[in-house]
Amino acid sequence: MSYYISARLKVPFDDAIARAEAALKTEGFGVISRIDIQQTLKSKIDVEFRPYTILGACNPTLAHEALQLEDKVGLMLPCNVIVQQSGSDEVEVAAIDPVASMQAISNPELVKAASTVREKLARAIDRLRQSEI
């Protein structure tokens, strides 16, 4: 089982971020954090890195349900989605597979809830793929 779901887009980097956020929104996710890895690495350790942004995506209803099932699951929230330059004309958008990440927790109800989150993230990523047609 892979630990992520991804799509490759032939769009400018900032456009890929906007498209990812819009696709997530259609599935009930909001972006509650944004980490610009390229800028962070430059400012903290003075290294050059490709454009790479981590979006912290949260579906409040599903997060609430998960927190009721397992009080420490917040250690694995929010769902991370990365947008990274992967070649001169391609950008990859990848989302964590919450089912894979929840395997560390022995709670069948939580795995069931993670499956719902996975379905929504997969639909958002599929929407990105379809926008390339």
Q: Please write the tens of the pLDDT for every residue from 77-91.
A: 999 999 999 988 899
Sign of CA dihedral 63, 68, 70, 72: positive
3-state secondary structure of 83: strand
Domains of the chain: 4-128 (3.30.310.70)
Residue 103, pLDDT score: 86
pTM of the entire structure? 0.93
3-state secondary structure of 104: helix
Q: Please write the tens of the pLDDT for every residue from 90-127.
A: 999 999 999 998 888 999 999 999 999 999 999 999 99
Can you point out the beta strands (E) in the chain? Answer: 4-9, 30-36, 52-58, 79-85, 91-96
